[in-house]
Amino acid sequence: MTPDERLERIEHVTAAIAEDRRRDREEYRALWRDTQRQLNELTANVNRNTLAIADTRDLIHQLAADSREADARLAAEAREADARLGERIAALVSAIAAKL
């Protein structure tokens, strides 16, 4: 093999290595862009979920307050009904005692 052939072969190998590195760089850049896109999507999803959780928390607090108010109303109504029932029982006992 002549020196010119060797030089030509070395140039060919060097060109192949350079082409491989160029393709690798392109692949790495594409992977980086894809990773950045996925990170952006994940960030958007986390932000959306954070807002949904905050809305749900606010709704739960409102429902809890409404529930406490309804419980207080029902307790007051139950006390009133119990008092009326007690008065009716007392009146019936008095009426029965008066007849005896």
- 70, two tokens: 């309804």
User: How many domains is the chain built from?
Assistant: 1
Q: What is the pLDDT of residue 1?
A: 77
Per-residue pLDDT at 100 exceeds 80: no
Place of tokens 């002549």: 2
Q: Is residue 97 part of a domain?
A: no
- 93, two tokens: 């006992």
Q: Is residue 99 part of a domain?
A: no
Q: Which amino acid is at 38?
A: Q
Q: What is the pLDDT of residues 46-96, one digit of tens each?
A: 999 999 999 999 999 999 999 999 999 999 999 999 999 999 999 999 988
Place of tokens 């529930």: 67
Measured CA to CA in angstroms, residue 67 lies from 5, 75, 81, 97 at distances of: 91, 12, 21, 44
- pTM metric for this prediction: 0.57
Distance between CA 65 and CA 56 in Å, rounded?
A: 14
Domain that holds residue 50: 1-73
Q: Is residue 91 part of a domain?
A: no
